[in-house]
Structure 1
Amino acid sequence: MIFDCDGVLVDSEPLYIRVLLRLLQSYGATLTFQECWEMFVGKTSRDVNDYLKEQGLTAPDHWNKDFHEQSNALLEKEVQPVSGIQQVLKHLANAKIPICVGSNGHPVTVRMSLERTGLLPWFGDNVFTATDVGIPKPAPDLFLHGAKMAGISPEHCVVIEDSATGLKAAASAGMRCFAYTPEIIPAPANFFGAHPFQTMATLPNLFGLVPA
């Protein structure tokens, strides 16, 4: 089972969007929080640069560095695990189902978030980011890399995602996918065939898993 990190394992997406929105508004953007969320959750700095160019907005060359510094500072203070995720990981461990992380996030930030929330020991070295494959989601490469590292064929993998970017990547990889869509978060406009669920507590039941 392959987990996205931000928004699936750690409740970091609102923190990222708060920082990004503040920076974009300082460059002259007129986005609301929800618009910023819908445009950039699961995306990369390249997507932000494309938006700035399309809107005719100018940002300092170091904006990405500012974003990471401010985001990391906020994560250090406020990041929490997604509600119910510890129980999901316990179920999977009891069932001896291999797991890994497949994230578009910066490798240092991803591992820091997992460590701060106490989730890193569940994954150990099985934490993969777009840096490992050279291309971010929605390309399928990252998920295919996770499957290859586990020695499991893509059709026997399951992805847990929360963004359209990740859902599309899972579909392109030929993997079954479940979309985490908590009520308080805007749902993706396209699920790409993924099965939506609203609480982590329901996820083990979808696979018929019970505590050992």
Structure 2
Amino acid sequence: MTTALDPAGQLKLVIFDCDGVLVDSEGPSCRATAEFARSKGVPISDDEAHKRFAGMALPQVVKELEQELGHSLPDETAFKLRENLVQMMQKIAEPVGGALKMLTDMRALGMPVRVGSNSSIREMDAKFDRTEMSQYFPENRVHSANDMGCPKPAPDVYLYAAKAEGILPENCVVIEDSDTGAEAAWKAGMACVLLRPKDMPAPPFWPVEGSVRIAHLDELVPLLRRTLESQKPA
């Protein structure tokens, strides 16, 4: 299969995950989830919560906690957790290292960009306003798998982003940091750039065809520029 990162392919759209790729929110979000879980009687450390819940939509997190507790939580639990996160991100959200420079360089590259995240639109609005990223992502270019009711690892949010751009999946590359998101990109038939430190393990299904791994966002635009150069007609 030819992908958007192959010399024989056509790279036409870059789709970013939000948490852990653009905004450094995975750690605070997972710590808040761990604190909530412990308050309900689930003995989980902050580190374990990050391993289990990173990249996961809040309704999925609530379902996992319910299974561990052996009983249902109130219907409004996911909503309340989300509202707490929105308030927290309005105060503490910070860009991932190199994200703002990378976005400036992406603009200079002239490559269309969108966002596909398990976060709600309200969460992303708070994060992008706090980190001054809203200028790069107008509202109609930000898509929420949570709000669609199809959280990752389902591929729906990435397929929707491609359709909204009028681009085929094989012409898209997804920038992801979590196993859940990388699986969604793979299921969507899209190339994936996995942003992950070298000392961290890859997803269990990695590597997948047409995908690469980088350790820092500084590597992304040069990679995309080389790809576009390789795809120019001879």
Q: Is the TM-score greater than 0.5?
A: yes
Find the counterpart in structure 1 of residue 106 from structure 2: 92
Secondary structure (helix, strand or coil) at the match of 2:152 reads coil
Amino acid in the other structure paired with 1:163? S
CA distance in 1, matches of 2:39, 2:149: 31
- For residues 138-153 of structure 1, the aligned pairs below 5 Å read 138-153=153-168
> How much does 1:183 deviate?
6.1
Find the counterpart in structure 2 of residue 72 from structure 1: 86
> How much does 1:35 deviate?
1.3
> How much does 1:92 deviate?
1.7
Task: Give the TM-score taking structure 1 as reference length.
Answer: 0.89
Find the counterpart in structure 2 of residue 181 from structure 1: 196
Match of 2:22 among 9, 13, 17: 9
CA distance in 1, matches of 2:45, 2:155: 30
- For residues 48-197 of structure 1, the aligned pairs below 5 Å read 48-57=61-70, 59-124=73-138, 125-131=140-146, 133-182=148-197, 188-191=203-206, 193=208, 194-197=211-214
Secondary structure (helix, strand or coil) at the match of 2:180 reads helix
The unaligned stretches of length 5 or more in structure 1 are none
> How much does 1:167 deviate?
0.4
In the comparison of the two structures, how many residue pairs are matched? 209
Find the counterpart in structure 1 of residue 52 from structure 2: 39
Find the counterpart in structure 1 of residue 31 from structure 2: 18
Structure 1 residues 192 and 35 mapped into 2: Cα distance closer, same or farther (>3 Å)?
Answer: farther
The alignment's C-alpha RMSD in Å is 2.1
The unaligned stretches of length 5 or more in structure 2 are 1-13, 227-234
Secondary structure (helix, strand or coil) at the match of 1:139 reads coil
Task: Give the TM-score taking structure 2 as reference length.
Answer: 0.81
Find the counterpart in structure 2 of residue 206 from structure 1: 223
Amino acid in the other structure paired with 1:76? Q
Secondary structure (helix, strand or coil) at the match of 1:20 reads helix
> How much does 1:48 deviate?
2.0
